[in-house]
Amino acid sequence: MNLYFSAQEIQPSLEREQQLLSQLTPLINYAKQECEYYAKSLADIDASKIDSRAQLATLPIIRKSDLIDMQQRHTPFAGLNARAASVDRIFQSPGPINDPERTTDDWWRLGQAFYAAGFRSGDKVQNCLSYHLTPGGFILDSGARACGCTVIPAGPGQSVQQLDVIENLKPEGYCGTPSFLKILLDKAKANNRDISSIKKALVTGEAFLPPLRAEFKAAGILALQAYATADVGLIGYESDPHQGLIIAEGILVEIVRPGSSEPVAEGEIGEVVVTSFNRDYPLLRFATGDLSALLPGTSECGRTNMRIKGWMGRADQTTKVKGMFVHPQQIEKIRQSQGQIIKARLVVTQLNHNDQMLLRCEVDSAISQLERERLCTEIAISLNNVTKLNGSVELVAINSLADDGKVIDDQRDIG
């Protein structure tokens, strides 16, 4: 049996780097020809001169946080998609941000992550990421099938029914958020349900901290993580030694100083910037908003690509809750929907490895208790409608929230 999903994973590092850099000039020419956005933004760029990382760093950056406004001006993809590409699905993640998908095999390139996590042909995989509007479920689905696995498209929630499925179909693997796997394990233990068939897991969408990893290991589950976005697909993934995230094949990653386009020194924390050679949706220097740092050397597993430390927070106030992005613009939209809210701040915490949201809203303390209860209910409904997530609401006195510009206060310990 092959140890690797692809021979590319073990090619000499210098050879891979030269191959990627040699593709930059053709990619830029193609993007200028096929994509309305690049035809304008790179009009004055001589593609033949972009043949090194230093030259790549001279190109402008596109930040994920800017996509919301860009796509509102130019629906649906801000002109970043290739004219020649046929889009099979359009997703709308919270923000909203529109993302395209082609249904060709392993379009998101997740197969290498599943293979590194031990998934093999014939395995049954319970996929617990959502297939609704956001692409997470489809991203994992395509990667599992690329390894020859049979996918059970379970989606999130309905934990009792999920346990029924596991007991009945006995899947060997799980994919989804680590927090939902924890929920399934806890509920199975509390209700004497047998989910021992699950021996492997690929988790994503949230920080995967050592205590939870140890808990899964104690339950007989080898859980490794993948780092992917709805724009790029797979960016990095773990192998069994747990030595950081190995950069996926087929992309070029830089770590830049947040707010700038300048690469940082090896080991310094910065923003993850990806150049993707996807001809349907080419992305040149796409800043994800995620923070990480380069690790020296290569993994002991034999894969030779560069590595990053993993997710180390956000370069902006955007955060991810239960695998879903929450943006400051969404909190402002909720505030504007209720004329009585002076200021609002979303506080994100974690309880028993499960994300919690509390929206604190400044309102006039003179309003009646009945009015306060009505307002709390309306704000909670608005929070769910806008973010697609449940959260609680707390009304506080005017001037209770600090004037520090913070709209989202993520208080979780990311390790």
Q: Tens digits of per-residue pLDDT, 282-306?
A: 999 999 999 999 999 999 999 999 9
Average pLDDT on 215-233 reads 97
Report pLDDT for 142.
98
Asked whether residue 342 falls in the same domain as residue 272, the answer is no
Peptide bond into 76 cis (omega under 30): yes
- How far apart are alpha carbons 264 and 267 in whole angstroms? 8
- The pLDDT, as a whole number, for residue 323 is 79
387 and 310 assigned to the same domain: no
Instruction: Classify residue 94 by its DSSP letter.
Output: T
Q: Provide the pLDDT for residue 63.
A: 92
- What's the confidence (pLDDT) of residue 102? 95
The phi, psi pair for 66, rounded to 5°, reads -85, -10
CB 69 within 8 A of CB 75: no
Would 34 be classed as within a structural domain? yes
Same domain, 308 and 355: no
Same domain, 312 and 358: no
Q: Are residues 247 and 357 located together in one domain of the fold?
A: no
Answer with the residue of higher pLDDT: 73 or 406.
Answer: 73
Query: pLDDT class for 237, splitting at 50, 70, 90?
Result: very high
Position 409, amino acid: D
Domain of 78 in residue numbering reads as 7-317
CA distance 45 to 23: 16
Residues 168 and 308 in one domain: yes
Q: What is the pLDDT of residues 393-405, one digit of tens each?
A: 999 999 998 876 6
At 311-356, the pLDDT tens digits run: 888 877 788 888 788 888 789 889 989 889 988 999 999 888 889 9
Do 380 and 306 lie in one domain? The reply is no
The structural domain count of the chain equals 2
- Residue ending a domain, among 298, 317, 336, is 317
Instruction: Judge whether 415 lies within some domain.
Output: no
Boundary residue ending a domain (300, 317, 334): 317
Is the pLDDT assigned to residue 126 strictly greater than 80?
Answer: yes
The pLDDT assigned to 218 comes to 96
Give the three-state DSSP class for 396.
strand
Let me know whether 254 and 337 are in one domain: no
| Residue type at position 327 | H
Token pair of 236, please?
């990095």
Q: Given a cut of 80, is residue 415 above it in pLDDT?
A: no
Say whether both 311 and 329 belong to one domain: no
Q: Quick check: is 333 in a domain?
A: yes
Structure tokens at 5: 């999903």
Report yes or no on 1 lying in a domain: no
The answer to whether residue 44 is domain-embedded is yes
Q: Indicate the average pLDDT of the chain.
A: 93
How high is the pLDDT of residue 261?
A: 85
pLDDT (0 to 100) of residue 84: 87
Please say if the pLDDT value at position 259 is more than 90. Answer: no
Task: Mark whether 214 and 362 lie in a shared domain.
Answer: no
Mean pLDDT of 267-290: 95
Does residue 24 form part of some domain?
yes
Q: Cβ neighbours of residue 123 under 8 Å, at least 6 residues apart?
A: 144, 147, 148, 149, 150, 171, 172, 173, 200
Task: Please determine, for residue 307, whether its predicted confidence score (pLDDT) is greater than 70.
Answer: yes
- pLDDT, mean of residues 101-125: 97
At 183-192, the pLDDT tens digits run: 999 999 999 9
Q: Which two tokens stand for residue 83?
A: 């004219």
**Which of the residue ranges 28-37, 128-137, 221-230, 363-372 would you say has the lowest mean pLDDT?**
363-372
Phi-psi map region of 78: left, alpha, beta (phi>0 left; psi -120 to 50 alpha): left
List the CATH number of the domain containing 406: 3.30.300.30
Tell me the per-residue pLDDT of 15-25, one tens digit each, with 9 for 90 and over: 999 999 999 99
Tokens of 368: 């009646």
The three-state secondary structure class of 19 is: helix
Section 49-76 average pLDDT: 95
The pLDDT score that the predictor gives to residue 405 is: 64
Q: How confident is the model at residue 414 (pLDDT cuts 50, 70, 90)?
A: low
Residue 167 falls within a domain, yes or no?
yes
Q: Is residue 161 domain-resident? A: yes
Count helices and strands (H / E) in the chain: 12, 21
Whether residue 311 sits in one domain with residue 395: no
**Residue that terminates a domain, selected from 288, 317, 346:** 317
* Number of Cα atoms under 13 Å in the Cβ half of residue 167: 13
What average pLDDT does this structure show over 6-32? 97
* Run of H or E including 145: helix 136-146
At which residue do the structure tokens 């994992």 appear?
A: 140
Q: What is the pTM of this model?
A: 0.84
Quote the pLDDT of residue 65: 86
What was the pLDDT predicted at 311? Answer: 87
- Banded pLDDT at 1 (limits 50, 70, 90): low
Residue 123, pLDDT above cutoff 80:
yes
The whole-number average pLDDT for the span 102-113 is 96
Residue 273 pLDDT exceeds 90? yes
Per cent of the chain over pLDDT 90 is 78
Does residue 176 sit in the same domain as residue 293? yes
- Rg (C-alpha) for the chain, rounded Å, is 22
Tabulate helix, strand, coil % of the chain (nearest 5). Answer: 30, 25, 45
Angstrom distance (rounded) from CA 340 to CA 342? 6
Helix axes 369-387, 328-337, angle to 10 degrees: 140
CATH of the domain at 18: 3.40.50.12780
* Distance of alpha carbon 157 from the chain centroid: 19
Q: Is 47 exposed, middle or buried (0-12, 13-18, 19+ CB in 10 A)?
A: middle
Predicted confidence (pLDDT) at residue 359 exceeds the cutoff of 90: yes
